[in-house]
Structure 1
Amino acid sequence: MSIFGKPNEPSIGQGVRCLVVDDFEPMRKVTINQLRQLGVEHIQSAKNGAEALRTLKNHPFDVVLSDWNMPVMSGIELLQAMRADEKLFAIPFILITAEAERRKVEEAIAYGISSMLLKPYTSNKLAIRLENALAWKPRKPGCMAPGQFLDDGVDTSVPRASRAAQPVAPPEDARLTILIVDDTQDNLLLLSHLFKGEYRVRLAQTGAKALELATSDNPPDLVLLDVMMPHMDGFEVAKAMRQHPNAQAVPIIFVTAMVSADARLKGLDLGAVDYITKPIDPETLKLRVRNFMRYVQLRRDLQAEYDSMVEGAQLREDVERITRHDLKAPLAGVLGLVQAIVEDDSIGRRQVEQLRLVEESVMQVLNMVNLSSELYKIETGRFVLRAAPVRIGELLRRIAEMDRVTFAEKGLSISVDTDVPVGAEMPAALGDVTLCYSAFQNLLKNACEAAPASSKISVRLFDESPLRIVIRNSGAVPMAIRDRFFDKFVTLGKPSGTGLGTYSAKLLIEAQQGSIGLSVSDDSNTTEVSVLLPRETDLG
């Protein structure tokens, strides 16, 4: 059973807490009224993203409904801030907008919207998106160490489509709707017969009835409106419609016997898209109506397209989560078994070398699994660092040992040294072990690939605050790419190079509040990459 009940009688369960964010006060009030009609009792509002963020940090909410374009802090900026906050990242977020540019919609989806609602919208449309948003399940923020797999409280063996509440089914007759308003019965019959084969037709013989239908939860897609009617004329109906969010964007075509220029100007000034005088030419009227209905259908198609884009992104996220969940546990088991065998003194040197190759391969796969999500979250501002001590010296030695095996045919000499006195405790970085492993693996691999055969590569750890790690290799970075060394897809002289190694290393280091730099010496023909990382003693 849907939490909203019947399609035409939406009712959301009590206890849902909503935050409405919009800089336009009338729109805030209308949205709040619509939510109350759905049974939502706990509602607060904010006039921009900054105010909303302060409210979110002081009060619990189950869902946020936010306009896109706002001063001070836009809806997208609010979404980014929430997805980067460990306490707020899981709150469903409905973005309300009149935007129709696909690139911007894709950007919003990348930042993690739960649902999207195109203006103008009705209470029923809001109910459907609200239900879907409340069924939305985010990925947990932060990083995962090798062997640690995701557990967000969701059964990952069940696809999202099966877990999420199903949208309210659309009515059987999904045709666009025309409301015909005229106080003369014969005119109503004439126009209804003209359009009933192509559109759903609703009739109103008074201005009051027309306004009631136009501002309902299911407003028409187009209104054909007579002007001269008793009690409430067409101009009054149009003015009232333009003041109501459910009807303010509904196209109006005046169909009237008033032929004066002043009447035409008044009608257009009230927001009519056309002004047709009687007696009408049926074929001309049908063409004009069809033209405006194309626009209405476009908006409807856009909403359906954006719904599909959001759902597709969420399903892809589920597939990635299931894949990581299913892959990481057995890989971590293999890694632990290999490392245990390597420590066995009865194993020969040749076997140890082979096991190290297995270990390296497993670590590389784990690295790719982890980075598939972490880099994406870093790039889109959704990453949350959970800093912990990282024994950086041990990590560097492990990477160097594996690279010696990998690049054995080049005859490289790879050393890892530190200025820590013998017997003293090795310093620890304050960061994430997975991100550190990935970053230094990429940097050292890059150095090994660039270094000439039989040359030396040195890795030095300096006991400073912050910790400083310097990787030095023979071979100067070509002048053509020095200024873009850490940019995405920049590579030169490597047939199989992707240009992502140093780029990802820079992102991973900076995500841990560190920094990275390049130093090249043409005189000595050497390249140095220096990394600074917070150390454990910097905690607090």
Structure 2
Amino acid sequence: MELAKKTVLIVDDMDAIRKISSDQLRRFGVGQIYQAENGAKALHILKNTHVDLIISDWNMPVMSGIELLCVVRSTPKFQYIPFLMITAEAARERVSQAIEEGVTDIVIKPFNSMILQQRVTQCLQGFVSNKAGVVAQEATSTSEQSDAESDIALNLTKQDKHQKSSVLIVDDTADNLTLLGGLLKDEYQVKLAKQGAKALEIAQSDTPPDIILLDIMMPDMDGFEVLKQLRKHPLSEHIPVIFVTALTEDKYQLQGLDGGAVDYISKPIQPELLKLRVRNLMAYVTMHKNLQSDFDSLVANEKLKQEVQQVLQHDLKGPIAGLMALIEQIKSDPHISKNNAENATIAEDMTFQLLNMINMSSELYKIETGRFVLSPKRFSILALIQKIIAVLKKTFQVKHLLIYLDCEEDGDEDYFAMGDESLSYSMLFNLLKNACEAAPSKTRVSVMLQREQEPETKQAFLKVSIQNIGVVDEDIRQHFWQKYVSAGKSDGTGIGTYSAKLLAEAQQGKVALDVDDANQTTSVSVYLPHE
């Protein structure tokens, strides 16, 4: 990969961070770098410029990083651009939100240039966690790329495990440096600085320390000024600082803590107390570092989920579609025997059920996360319902149910919907199956198909009403369409009705529930756009 040919867009509201990040990327060898101070300006650049990678902060005015990510992933022109999110927010909910919206990678502040370079290189290799529409030929290259990414992460992890945590000790007295360094050298990698300027140089380098022990009384630049400069610079603003000083008055302690120090140790020091405080603080630093590893695992799991969905979407649905077409040809053969015709019908039913399972596992996730794109096509909903009823009559024949379809008298041939036929099959199959399960033995389950028009919009709909004997419990009627709500089935998951609602809405339709306590019936209705 030639970084000199790559273009990166940096989005951050702080000028200093944009400048530092740009300088780092140039050192890595990136050819072209653009900058934007918020998401809105970033979008303007994206509309007019080719970009290979977006590096964005989360918290920004006008348009935040997460809002920019949502727009990027929903815009066909640049929805596949790798998106690297930089954030100081360690809340798991935020990271989960970014993953759901399709972030490529997440880096938690603080981080050094080695981590940034590794993540930028990884992102520019082309992996996008929510890339849709990947053709089967890409599967091999994706697998090889995943192995390369794993090797990079593994190498970095090995380096981290064998590298000691580091402490920078800043004091203008050589004896103090020797004493403090001697106490800590066995547990940590110790760096020494006699002047504030040198301390800033080390803290803002490519390999900053994990913790800083800082004296206050120093020539040229005292400890308070060093702390102030540390907090101003993006590479050092998050490094924990402990003041180690002979100034014991409360006002100095308050000034130090108010300036951003996390602890205050008075001289002469007590060796065991110093080591204990450093050890406790280092434990916190290590825990924060581990958050990055945890979030990397979340991103990796999301990637795995997407790859499984690609297999379901492309490797399985294609052959099933071919199988269904073949069965249709066999059934239409005028010379087919009655026995073979019945077997072909059974095989067709089984392929539809398999397609239903795939839709439930792959398409639902896309709909839930806002990534589903509808490509509506004309199909006969009457023929679809007839197929479902034929399957369910066999399935529930032990209950001796009367399952029948009732249509308006004028023009049965005109029941054509605009939507996705396979999603509609899954939706109606689950609702009708639920009705058959809920209905008592030797009762009826009716399906009414009729045309309706929305009074305000004049939008034409096909209404499918499924009615069975028995009523839904009052305490769940209000939540009937919500996820994990189930009634009357010990093994029910509460996914069927929830998925039906999502599948209907994904096709610009809607659902409704009507319970008639007087007549002891329950009706669920689905509205789909009429051609």
Q: Pick closer, same or farther for the CA change 1:361–1:50 going to 2, 3 Å.
A: farther
Displacement after TM superposition at 1:130 (Å): 1.9
1:433 to 421, 431, 444: 421
Measured after TM superposition, the shift of residue 351 of structure 1 is 4.0
- 2:128 maps to 137
Separation of aligned partners in 1, 2:228 and 2:151: 38
Equivalent residue in structure 2 for 1:494, among 469, 489, 493 = 489
1:477 to 471, 480, 501: 471
* CA offsets 1:91-128 (integer angstroms, 9 cap, x no match): 22222222223343333323322111111222222222
Specify the alignment match of 1:468 in structure 2: 462
1:277-300 residue CA offsets vs partner (Å, 9 max, x unmatched): 332222221111112111111111
Q: Which of 25, 34, 45 is the matching residue for 2:24?
A: 34
User: For residue 214 of structure 1, what is the aligned residue in structure 2?
Assistant: 203
CA deviations over 1:174-197 (Å, ceiling 9, x no partner): 211111222333322222221111
Determine whether 1:285 maps to 2:269.
no
Equivalences for residues 67-466 of structure 1 within 5 A: 67-71=57-61, 73-135=63-125, 136-141=127-132, 150-151=135-136, 153-155=138-140, 158=143, 161-162=146-147, 164=149, 166-167=151-152, 169-170=155-156, 171=159, 173-322=162-311, 324-409=313-398, 410-415=400-405, 417-418=407-408, 420-421=410-411, 426=414, 428-452=416-440, 453-462=442-451, 465-466=459-460
1:506 has 2:495 as partner: no
Distance 1:514 1:91 in 2: 32
* Preserved CA contact (<8 Å) 1:49 1:77: yes
Query: Secondary structure, in 3 states, of the residue corresponding to 1:499?
Result: coil
Aligned equivalents of 1:242, 1:157: Cα separation in 2:
42
Q: Secondary structure at the match of 2:207?
A: coil
Superimposed CA distance per residue, residues 48-81 of structure 1 (whole angstroms, 9 cap, x where no aligned partner): 4455455544544322223334455443343334
- In the TM superposition, residue 400 of structure 1 has moved relative to its aligned partner by 2.7
| Secondary structure of the corresponding residue to residue 275 of structure 2 | helix
Relative to structure 1, is the Cα distance of residues 102 and 456 closer, same or farther in structure 2, using a 3 angstrom cutoff? closer
Name the counterpart of 1:9.
Answer: none
- In 1, Cα distance between equivalents of 2:449 and 2:489: 26
Aligned residues of 2:432 and 2:466 also touching (Cα < 8 A): no
1:155 counterpart SS class = helix
> In the comparison of the two structures, how many residue pairs are matched?
518
Preserved CA contact (<8 Å) 1:221 1:293: yes
RCO higher in structure (CA 8 A, sep ≥6): 1
Gaps of 5+ in 1: 4-11, 143-148
SS in structure 1 of the partner of residue 138 of structure 2:
coil
Taking the aligned partners of 2:142 and 2:267, their CA distance within structure 1 comes to 64
Does the C-alpha gap of structure 1 residues 470 and 321 become closer, same or farther in structure 2, counting only changes over 3 Å?
A: closer
Distance change in 2, residues 1:134/1:223 (3 Å): same
Alignment partners' CA distance in 2, 1:273 and 1:499:
49
Q: Could you tell me which residue of structure 1 aligns to residue 456 of structure 2?
A: none
**TM-score, structure 1 normalization:** 0.86
- For 1:331 and 1:220, locate their aligned partners in 2 and report how far apart those are by CA, in whole Å: 57
Deviations 1:12-56 (A, max 9, x none): 702333333334454444434433443335334444445545554
Alpha-carbon distance change, 263 to 397 in structure 1, aligned in 2, over 3 angstroms: same
**Contact preservation (8 Å) 1:420, 1:463:** no
Deviations 1:203-260 (A, max 9, x none): 2222222111111121111112223333333333222111101111111222233444
User: Aligned to 1:528, which of 492, 516, 523?
Assistant: 523
- Aligned pair in 2 of structure 1 residues 69, 535: CA closer, same or farther (>3 Å)? farther
1:459: Cα distance to partner? 3.3
Letter in structure 2 aligned against 1:412: L
Q: Secondary structure at the match of 2:86?
A: strand
Partner secondary structure for residue 390 of structure 1: strand
Determine the C-alpha separation between the residues in 2 that align with 1:157 and 1:332.
25
Question: Does the 8 Å CA contact 1:353/1:405 hold for their aligned counterparts?
Answer: no
Instruction: Sort the Cα spacing of 1:33 and 1:156 in 2 relative to 1 into closer, same or farther, 3 A.
Output: closer
SS of 1:127's partner is helix
Q: Which amino acid aligns with 1:490?
A: V
SS across alignment from 2:107: strand
Moved more, 69-78 or 378-387: 69-78
Q: Which of 500, 513, 517 does residue 512 from structure 2 map onto? A: 517
Query: Is the alpha carbon distance of 1:525 and 1:93 closer, same or farther for their aligned partners in structure 2, counting shifts above 3 Å?
Result: same
Decide whether aligned partners of structure 1 residues 384 and 88 sit closer, same or farther in structure 2, where only a CA change above 3 A counts.
farther
Higher helix share: 2
Task: Structure 2 unaligned segments of length 5 or more: list them.
Answer: 454-458
Residue 472 of structure 1 and its aligned partner are, at CA, apart by: 3.3
Partner amino acid for 2:333?
A: D
AA in 1 matched with 2:472: P
The 10-residue stretch of structure 1 (113-122 or 331-340) with the greater mean CA deviation from structure 2: 331-340
Question: Would the alpha carbon gap of residues 419 and 186 (structure 1) be closer, same or farther in structure 2, given more than 3 Å must change?
Answer: farther
| Equivalent position amino acid for 1:115 in 2 | D
* Matched residue type, 2:114: N
Query: TM-score, length-normalised on structure 2?
Result: 0.87
Residues of 2 paired with 1:37 and 1:101: CA distance?
A: 32
- Indicate how the Cα distance of structure 1 residues 399 and 97 shifts in structure 2: closer, same or farther if over 3 A, else same: same
